Chain A
C-alpha cells in the first residue's frame, strides 16, 4: 500500500463518489472477496458467483452516490449483492417455468468431473450443501470471516482487509466462530469432518 493511496474506506468512498475510478477500484480490491463469499453463501452456486460479483459492482458503481456515509459502504454493498442474487433467482425461476428443458447449474453439477467418480462427486456436493447450511445458521459476525476463510480461501490478512477490521477483533471473531462451527459440524456430521474435540 503506497503512501498516496488513501488508506481509509470513508475517504475512498468519497473520492469514488467524485468520479475517481482508481478509488473505486481500490474499494473493489478490498471488498471483492467478501462479496464473493456472500454471493456464494446466498446463492449456493459457485459457478456463477463471479458473474454475480461483477453485476454487484456494476450496480454499485452506477448508484454510488446513494451512499451517504463511507462507513456504511460494506453493508450497502452486501445488500446490493443480496439483491443481485434474489433477482437472479427470480429470473431463473421464470425461465425454468417457461423453458423447463434448459440445463441449469444444478444439472451441470451432475456432469461427471473427469478426475472424480460420480459417487464421490455426489457425496462432496451433499457435504458442501450441509456445511453451507450450517454456515448460514451462524450469527452474522462469525459467519463472514469463516465464509471468507473457507469459501474464499483467504488468508488472515485478506480477511482482515476485506472485513475492514482491526487485528485483535478479528482474532476473537475467528476463534469463537471456529469453535461454533466445529461444534455444529460435529453434531451434524460427526468428528471425522470436524476434527478432534477442542
Chain B
C-alpha cells in the first residue's frame, strides 16, 4: 500500500458518513468511490455503515418530519400577528403625563374659546328655548321644535359673532348660508333668540343681567357697536366687513317687521303688589303721586289707618301704562325699604280674540236682522219676531263691548297696589306692671288673725275680693283672703300681715306686659296696677311636722321607760299622738310612743329619751317642704324593746378544759346568776364518766364579762376563744353572748408524746421503778411485758402533766442504754396548765433494732428506687403517646398536604 493509498484510506474512513449523506461532490466523490472499489476493508466498512444507516432509518421512519413541514409552519406563522412591540420603560413614564397634560390643555382651550358650543355640546342651550310657547296657533306645523330652535340659534350665533368681531366673517358667512327657513320662523323664536343674546352677552361681559321682566315684542335687538378686540384689521378689509354686517342687520330688521305685522296684537294684563316700610306715610304718598304723574299714570285709591301707637299704615293703588311699570317700580324703590314685591302678567289674548269674533258675529247678525226689517218682506209676525231678535242681539253686543272695554282698560293701564307702613309699626304703646303676693301665715288663733287681716286691708284702702274661714277636723282652722290694694299701700300691708303670725310662705311676683305690639318700648310710662294679695291663715293642729325622728330603744325595763317618756312629753308641752305597750313576759315587753313636741324643746326631749335605754336604731325623716308641713314642731316615734328581744352584737365562742367538768359547770352557772346574766341553753352530759362534757350558752352584761372570764380562767384552761361581731341592724353592744363548751382535760389527749427505747439488763425492775416515778397527777395508761427465750421486752405507756414530762424522760434515759428518743408535739391540743404528755417506753434486754440497715432494708430501698424510676418512665411514655404523637401526626399530615398542593399548580 502506497503512502497515497494510506492517506486515501484514512480519508475515506473519515468521510464515510459524509458520503452516505451525499455531502461529497465531483472530485471527492470519484476519489471516494475509486478507493472503495480497490480497498476491501473500506468496502466492507461502507456496507456496514449502510446497513446501520438502513436500520436506523427504519427505526426512525415515522419520526421523520412529514413532507412540507416548513410550509405548514410558515402558513401558520402568516396567520399570527407581528412581533410584540415594546416601548422602553422610560418612554411610557414620560408619555403618559405628557398625554394627560396635552388632553387637559385641549379641553381647557376649548372651554375658554367656545363656551357657547361647549354648553351646546353639554345639552344646556336647547333647554333655554323650550319655555317659549309657539306664538301663532295657525302657524304651519314645524318639522320639530328642536329643529327650529337649532335654526334660530344658528342665526343668532352668526349675528353675535359678526357683532362682536368682524374678523370672524368667514364663519359667520358659512353659518348664514345654511338653508334657514327664516320666513316661516315665528316671532317667539326671535324673541327666544333675543333673550339668549342678552344672557350670552351678560355672561361674556360679566355684568349683571337685567331683571327678566316682560319684554314687549316691539323691542328690536339693535345691532350693537362692534368693539374690536385686539389688533384692528386693515382699513379696507374692515370697511368691507362693516358693510356686510350692516347688510345683515338690515335683512334681519326687515324680516322682523314683516313678522310683526302678521302677528296678532297680544293682550296682556299686568299688575303688581309692592310693600314698603317708610319713615312717613304722607311724605311717601306725595312722592308716589309725583312719580305716578311722571310715568303718565295716576293714583286710583288711597286708604290709610292710624294705629294706636300713632303709626300709619295704608294702601295706594296706582294705574300706569304697562310699559312704564318697570321704571315706576325702580323709581318707587327710593321710597323706603322694599319688603315684598310681586309683578304678575296674565295673557288674555285668546279670550280677547274670542270676544272680538263673537262681537263680529253679533254685529253681522244685527246687520242681517236690520236688513230683514228694512226690506219689510214677509209677514208682520216675522218682522216683529226679527225686531225682538234684534233687541236681544243688541243687548249681547253691548255686553261684549263692555267686556272688551273692560279688558282694554286693564291692558292699557297696569294696576300697581302699593302697601306702605311706617317704621316701628309694632312698637308697643303702653306697659303695665302687676304684682301678686301670696302669703301663708301660721298662727295659733286663726279667727283673730283673720279679723285683723281684713281690718288691715280696709285700712290700706284695699278691696277684699274673696274671704273665707273654714273649720276643719281635729281643731284645724283655715282662712283665705284675696284682696287688691293700691300699689303704694302694698308694702305697709305686707309688713302688717306678717306680724299676725309666722310667715311660712311668701311669694311675690311682679310682671310687666307691653300692649299693642312687641319690642322695646321707648319713652313709655309704666302703669302700675293694683297689687293682688292672696293670704291664707291656718293653725298647726293638723299640720305634719317637718322633721320626724324614729327611734328604737332597747331597755332593761320598757314599762318604766314608757311611763317616763309620757311624763317628759307632758312636761315639754308636747302632744302624744299615739302610744301602746304590750307586755307578755318581762323580757318580751314592747311599746310604741308617737308624740310631737315644739322645736325648741325637741333636742332636750330627745336626749332624755335616749338615756332611757340603748338606741338600736335611729333615723330622721324630713318631709317635703310643702304647705302642709311645719318646722315649728318635731315629731318622734319611739319603739321600746325589752333588751332580751335584741340580740347582742358580739358573740364569744370558747372551750374550757377543766379537771372536773361537773364542778366547773355548777360554779359557772352560779356566777352567771350572780352577775344578772341570762342563761339561754345549758346541758351537762355525764353518760361517760371518763368523758364528761357540758355546754353553756348565756348572755351577760358587758361590764360583767371580765368577771365571768376570770372565773373561768380559775377553773381551767380557756382554749379556742373566738369573738365574732354581727353587723345586723338590731343588735346591742351593752351585752355579749357566750357559747362555752366545757370538756375534761384528760379527754383532750396529750399535747406532747415522748417515745423512748432503752436497753436494760433487768426489765422488770426498771418497769416497777418507772411506775413508782409517775406523779400523782399522772397515770399509767398501759403496760405490757413479753418474754422469749433470752429476750424480755416490756412496754409501758403513761400520761403525766406536761411540765413534769421532760424531767421524767431524763430519769428514764438514765436507766440503761438509750436506743430511741423521740418527742412529738400535737399542736391541735391546747397548751395550758392542765396539758398532758404521754410517754411510750419500750424496755428490752438486747438490741431492739438490729444493724444500722439490714439486708431487707436495702432490698426495700432498691425496690423503692426502681418503682420510682418505673413510674417516671411510665409518665414519659404516656406524655409521648398522648401529647407528642398526635402533634407530630398533625404536623406530618399538614406538611404532606402543603407539598402536594405546591406540586400541583406547576
A32-B52 contact, Cβ under 8 Å, with A58-B76, A128-B59, A174-B17: no
Choose among A19, A64, A156 the residue that contacts B23 (Cβ–Cβ < 8 A).
A156
CB neighbours of A167 from chain B (8 A): 23
Q: How many residue pairs at the A-B interface have CB separations less than 8 Å?
A: 140
| A124 at the binding interface (Cβ < 8 Å) | yes
CB neighbours of B24 from chain A (8 A): 156
Q: CA separation between A198 and B9, bound complex, in Å? A: 12
Q: Is the CB of B906 within 8 A of A90?
A: yes
Q: CA separation between A61 and B809, bound complex, in Å? A: 117
Choose among B18, B48, B51 the residue that contacts A175 (Cβ–Cβ < 8 A).
B18
A65-B69 contact, Cβ under 8 Å, with A28-B74, A151-B64: no
Extra 11 A-B pairs, beta carbons < 8 Å, given A28-B74, A195-B52:
A17-B83, A21-B78, A36-B69, A65-B84, A97-B904, A155-B23, A167-B23, A178-B17, A195-B48, A195-B49, A195-B50
Q: CA separation between A127 and B64, bound complex, in Å? A: 16
| B44 at the binding interface (Cβ < 8 Å) | yes
Cβ proximity bits A24-51 to B, threshold 8 Å, 1 near / 0 not: 1100110011001000100000100110
CB neighbours of B121 from chain A (8 A): none
Choose among A19, A157, A196, A197 the residue that contacts B82 (Cβ–Cβ < 8 A).
A19
Q: CA separation between A74 and B64, bound complex, in Å? A: 21
CB neighbours of A119 from chain B (8 A): none
A151-B63 contact, Cβ under 8 Å, with A32-B70, A61-B80, A62-B80: yes
CB neighbours of A159 from chain B (8 A): 21, 23
> What's the minimum C-beta distance from A190 to chain B, rounded to whole angstroms?
11
Q: CA separation between A71 and B284, bound complex, in Å? A: 107
What would 19 A/B residue contacts be, using CB atoms closer than 8 Å? A17-B83, A28-B70, A28-B74, A32-B65, A36-B65, A46-B63, A46-B64, A54-B72, A58-B80, A128-B60, A150-B57, A152-B65, A153-B64, A155-B21, A160-B23, A175-B16, A175-B17, A193-B55, A196-B45
Q: CA separation between A36 and B76, bound complex, in Å? A: 16
A24-B64 contact, Cβ under 8 Å, with A156-B18, A193-B52, A195-B49: no
| A194 at the binding interface (Cβ < 8 Å) | yes
| A63 at the binding interface (Cβ < 8 Å) | yes
| A170 at the binding interface (Cβ < 8 Å) | yes
Q: Is the CB of A174 within 8 A of B64?
A: no
Q: Is the CB of B73 within 8 A of A54?
A: yes
Choose among B44, B62, B78, B83 the residue that contacts A64 (Cβ–Cβ < 8 A).
B83
Q: Is the CB of A153 within 8 A of B84?
A: no
Number of A residues near B (Cβ < 8 Å) is 57
| A171 at the binding interface (Cβ < 8 Å) | yes
Q: CA separation between A94 and B906, bound complex, in Å? A: 8
| B77 at the binding interface (Cβ < 8 Å) | yes
CB neighbours of A54 from chain B (8 A): 72-73, 76
Q: Is the CB of A61 within 8 A of B69?
A: no
Nearest chain B residue, comparing its CB with the CB of A125: B59
Q: CA separation between A24 and B65, bound complex, in Å? A: 20
> What's the minimum C-beta distance from B365 to chain A, rounded to whole angstroms?
95
Cβ proximity bits B1-45 to A, threshold 8 Å, 1 near / 0 not: 000000000000111111001111000000000000000000011
| A138 at the binding interface (Cβ < 8 Å) | no
Nearest chain A residue, comparing its CB with the CB of B18: A171
A29-B21 contact, Cβ under 8 Å, with A128-B60, A128-B63, A193-B55: no
Cβ proximity bits A92-122 to B, threshold 8 Å, 1 near / 0 not: 0010010000000000000000000000000
Nearest chain A residue, comparing its CB with the CB of B24: A156
| B66 at the binding interface (Cβ < 8 Å) | yes
| A182 at the binding interface (Cβ < 8 Å) | yes
A50-B69 contact, Cβ under 8 Å, with A40-B63, A149-B17: yes
| B350 at the binding interface (Cβ < 8 Å) | no
Nearest chain A residue, comparing its CB with the CB of B79: A58
Residues of A with Cβ closer than 8 Å to B?
A: 17, 19, 21, 24-25, 28-29, 32-33, 36, 40, 46, 49-50, 53-54, 57-58, 61-65, 90, 94, 97, 124, 127-128, 131, 149-157, 159-160, 167, 170-172, 174-175, 177-178, 182, 185, 193-198
> What's the minimum C-beta distance from A13 to chain B, rounded to whole angstroms?
12
Nearest chain B residue, comparing its CB with the CB of A40: B63
Q: Is the CB of A131 within 8 A of B72?
A: no
| B855 at the binding interface (Cβ < 8 Å) | no
Q: CA separation between A153 and B56, bound complex, in Å? A: 10
CB neighbours of A171 from chain B (8 A): 14-15, 18, 23
The 3 residue pairs across chains A and B that have the minimum distance between CB atoms: A156-B23, A195-B48, A196-B48
A198-B18 contact, Cβ under 8 Å, with A28-B70, A182-B52: no
Q: Is the CB of A53 within 8 A of B60?
A: no
CB neighbours of B80 from chain A (8 A): 58, 61-62
Q: CA separation between A182 and B86, bound complex, in Å? A: 49
CB neighbours of B70 from chain A (8 A): 28-29, 32
CB neighbours of A65 from chain B (8 A): 83-84, 86
A63-B14 contact, Cβ under 8 Å, with A194-B52, A195-B48: no
Q: Is the CB of A175 within 8 A of B65?
A: no
Q: Is the CB of A127 within 8 A of B52?
A: no
Q: Is the CB of A25 within 8 A of B49?
A: no
CB neighbours of B84 from chain A (8 A): 62-63, 65
A28-B13 contact, Cβ under 8 Å, with A151-B64, A196-B48: no
CB neighbours of B63 from chain A (8 A): 40, 46, 49, 128, 151
Q: CA separation between A27 and B13, bound complex, in Å? A: 34
Q: CA separation between A100 and B863, bound complex, in Å? A: 65
Greatest chain B CB density within 10 A among A49, A157, A196, A198 is at A196
A58-B48 contact, Cβ under 8 Å, with A36-B69, A50-B65: no
Q: Is the CB of A178 within 8 A of B44?
A: no
Q: CA separation between A160 and B25, bound complex, in Å? A: 14
CB neighbours of A29 from chain B (8 A): 70, 74
The B74-129 residues at the A interface (CB cut-off 8 A) are 74, 76-78, 80-84, 86
CB neighbours of A149 from chain B (8 A): 17, 21
CB neighbours of B906 from chain A (8 A): 90
Q: Is the CB of A61 within 8 A of B83?
A: yes
Q: CA separation between A88 and B65, bound complex, in Å? A: 19
Q: Is the CB of A174 within 8 A of B18?
A: yes
CB neighbours of B15 from chain A (8 A): 171, 175
> What's the minimum C-beta distance from A67 to chain B, rounded to whole angstroms?
10
CB neighbours of B22 from chain A (8 A): 155-157
> What's the minimum C-beta distance from B88 to chain A, rounded to whole angstroms?
12
Q: CA separation between A153 and B65, bound complex, in Å? A: 8
A25-B65 contact, Cβ under 8 Å, with A149-B17, A196-B45: no
Nearest chain A residue, comparing its CB with the CB of B49: A195
CB neighbours of A128 from chain B (8 A): 59-60, 63
Q: Is the CB of A53 within 8 A of B23?
A: no
CB neighbours of B69 from chain A (8 A): 32, 36, 50, 53
CB neighbours of B65 from chain A (8 A): 32-33, 36, 49-50, 53, 152-153
CB neighbours of A178 from chain B (8 A): 16-17, 49
CB neighbours of B23 from chain A (8 A): 155-157, 159-160, 167, 170-171, 174
Q: CA separation between A185 and B48, bound complex, in Å? A: 13
CB neighbours of B45 from chain A (8 A): 196, 198
> What's the minimum C-beta distance from B565 to chain A, rounded to whole angstroms?
106
Choose among B47, B57, B62, B83 the residue that contacts A46 (Cβ–Cβ < 8 A).
B62
Choose among B52, B56, B73, B81 the residue that contacts A53 (Cβ–Cβ < 8 A).
B73
Q: Is the CB of B14 within 8 A of A61?
A: no
A21-B77 contact, Cβ under 8 Å, with A36-B65, A175-B17, A185-B52: yes
Q: Is the CB of A61 within 8 A of B77?
A: yes
CB neighbours of B49 from chain A (8 A): 178, 195
Q: Is the CB of B73 within 8 A of A127?
A: no
> What's the minimum C-beta distance from A146 to chain B, rounded to whole angstroms?
9
Greatest chain A CB density within 10 A among B45, B56, B70, B904 is at B56
> What's the minimum C-beta distance from B187 to chain A, rounded to whole angstroms?
67
CB neighbours of B55 from chain A (8 A): 193
Q: CA separation between A131 and B58, bound complex, in Å? A: 12
> What's the minimum C-beta distance from A148 to chain B, rounded to whole angstroms?
10
A175-B44 contact, Cβ under 8 Å, with A65-B83, A151-B60, A195-B49: no
